[in-house]
């Protein structure tokens, strides 16, 4: 890739990240199915611990599902108005499942050596058993799901669509809305309404970098 292409890519990514705003109100225009599929695929390109990909996306666009998510969020406007809401689900028990397809795909594609791929199931098991003993299984799964949600929001902005990372919801109600109620191994990481914006929002500003970026140790 040429220096000029790298500079163009950098400028584009910088512009997209700096221009993204959290939008609360949406037009009812549908998101084209091919674009929605591509955005979800880009979200799932996000990295994950051991490449277990222990996170999923539930695409909610039907009337019943949107109504249930609206109720789960206390009647907030985002899921009422956005034609699609993406529910990011963290799978804390994924390491117990057969992930042979993950190891084989990485090995076959040359991303992992035979030795590394062969050792990965046991390495992942030991790592996650340690997390379980320390009560950190859920936390690590949610981290991976949040990375995927961040990818989605940047990709959506680049495609001319709006999003808003939502946190104020009842987890049990959201889990019921997407058909995973009673699953202790699945957790709601984030709700992300997606659609065409019906409002424009100014950048609210960020704190001075000296207050939030430090060298070597926190606070210095």
- For residue 34, give the CATH number of its domain: 3.40.109.10
Which pair of structure tokens corresponds to residue 202?
Answer: 């100014």
Q: Looking at the domain assignment, is residue 209 inside a domain?
A: no
Nearest to 73 by CA among 215, 190, 199: 190
Q: How confident is the model at residue 152 (pLDDT cuts 50, 70, 90)?
A: very high
| Number of domains the chain is built from | 1
Q: Domain range holding 32? A: 24-98+136-202
**Quick one: average pLDDT of 196-202?**
95
Please name which of 142, 140, 120 lies closest in space to residue 190, comparing C-alpha atoms: 142
Residue 8 in any domain: the answer is no
114: phi then psi, degrees, rounded to nearest 5? -55, -45
The confidence score (pLDDT) of residue 220 equals 73
- pLDDT tens profile 4-30: 788 888 999 999 999 999 999 999 999
Structural domain contains residue 157: yes
Residue 219 predicted with pLDDT over 80: yes
Number of other residues whose CB lies within 10 A of the CB of residue 76 = 18
The answer to whether the beta carbons of residues 91 and 183 sit under 8 Å apart is: no
Rounded-to-10 torsion of CA 37, 38, 40, 42: 170
In a domain, 10, yes or no: no
Please state whether beta strands 162-163 and 186-195 pair in parallel, antiparallel, or not at all (unpaired): antiparallel
Query: Quick check: is 35 in a domain?
Result: yes
Decide if 110 is inside a domain.
no
Q: Residues 176-197: what's their mean pLDDT?
A: 97
DSSP classification of residue 214 = -
**Which whole number is the average pLDDT over 21-40?**
97
The pLDDT mean for the chain works out to 95
3-state secondary structure of 195: strand
Which phi and psi angles does 125 have, rounded to 5°? -60, -45
Q: Does residue 13 lie in a domain region?
A: no
Structure tokens at 210: 């000296």
Query: For residue 5, is it within any domain?
Result: no
pTM of the entire structure? 0.95
């Amino acid at each position: 890739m040429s220096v000029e292409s790298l500079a163009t890519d950098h400028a584009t990514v910088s512009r997209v990240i700096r221009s993204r705003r959290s939008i609360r109100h949406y037009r009812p225009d549908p998101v084209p199915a091919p674009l929605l599929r591509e955005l979800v695929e880009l979200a799932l390109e996000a990295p994950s611990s051991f490449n277990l990909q222990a996170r999923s996306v539930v695409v909610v666009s039907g009337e019943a599902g949107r109504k249930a998510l609206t109720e789960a969020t206390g009647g907030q406007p985002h899921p009422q108005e956005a034609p699609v809401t993406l529910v990011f689900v963290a799978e804390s028990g994924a390491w117990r499942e057969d992930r042979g397809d993950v190891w084989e795909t990485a090995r076959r594609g040359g991303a992992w050596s035979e030795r590394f791929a062969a050792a990965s199931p046991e390495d992942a098991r030991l790592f996650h058993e340690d997390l379980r003993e320390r009560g950190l299984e859920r936390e690590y799964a949610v981290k991976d799901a949040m990375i995927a949600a961040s990818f989605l929001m940047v990709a959506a902005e680049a495609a001319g669509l709006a999003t808003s990372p939502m946190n104020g919801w009842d987890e049990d109600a959201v889990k019921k809305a997407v058909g995973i109620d009673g699953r202790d191994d699945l957790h709601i990481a984030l709700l992300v309404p997606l659609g065409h914006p019906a409002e424009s929002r100014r950048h609210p500003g960020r704190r001075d970098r000296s207050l939030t970026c430090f060298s070597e140790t926190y606070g210095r």
